[in-house]
Amino acid sequence: MRLRLAARLKWGERFRRPSRQQLWIAFGYAAAAALYVAIGVYETDFLLSWLVGAMYLLIVAWAVPVVVRRIL
């Protein structure tokens, strides 16, 4: 019992729960990933280049939110 409690405490120390804001950020990345996967499955060439992946992410996860924030 004590061992199990200690293990659970250790797990809790190692795995901290993300905050609500961090979950929102993760959700945004997951949505970007879903679109990336959809395009990639349809056109596999899209999946081949790291540079394409990085540019895609830069546009979707940084440039678009910056533009939207400025407009709003």
Partner 1 sequence: MSWAAHDLEPYAIQRHSRFKIAFVPLLLGSYSPDMMTKWFVYGIHIGHLRLKASDPVQFHRGWPGFGFTHSLLYGVVICLIFWKVLGSKNWGISFMIGQWAHALTDTGDTVGTMLLFPWTHHFDIGAWAYAGQTGRTTDAAAYFSGLGCMWDAVWIFYGLFSWQVLTRSYFEGHVFTADAFWGKLHSFVPMGALLVLYRAAFFYGSSRWVAWTVWAHVIHHFPYDLSWGGPHWVHAAHP
1 vs 71, beta carbon nearer partner 1 = 71
C-alpha distance from residue 69 to each of 2, 13, 18, 62, 72 (Å): 51, 36, 24, 11, 5
Alpha carbons within 13 A on the beta-carbon side of 51: 0
Our finding on whether 4 is near partner 1 (CB under 8 A) is: no
CA distance 12 to 5: 10
1 vs 21, beta carbon nearer partner 1 = 21
Our finding on whether 67 is near partner 1 (CB under 8 A) is: no
Give the residues lining the site for partner 1 (CB under 8 A): 15-16, 18, 22, 26, 29, 32-33, 36-37, 40-41, 44, 47-48, 50, 53-54, 57-58, 61-63, 66
